[in-house]
Amino acid sequence: MVKCYYTDEGFETITSCCPVPIVIAGGKKLPELDALKMSYNAIQQGASGVDMGRNIFQSEDPIAMMKAVRGVVHEGLTPEQGFAMFNDLKGK
């Protein structure tokens, strides 16, 4: 398994050339919707998963964000659907 940062350009080339699964690092803290978009784009471009720290634990509601990321990565939600889930679960 390889952990690397997501890049807006050329990420599909990285995933298509790598002989082992790739998970993306969460990187710097992003607004929740942007982190979900990054996760979605990475999965669509061949990543096997995400490994996020600060984008989960520095979120307004870490549990809601964890569930939203799971929805995007494992359940096929769009970033907007994941963000709606985050907002629905926030504070519960």
Q: Quick check: 82 and 40 in contact, CB under 8 A?
A: yes
Active-site annotation holds for 3: yes
Tell me which of 3, 37, 67, 90 is the catalytic residue: 3
CB 56 within 8 A of CB 85: no
The residues annotated with a catalytic role in the active site are 3
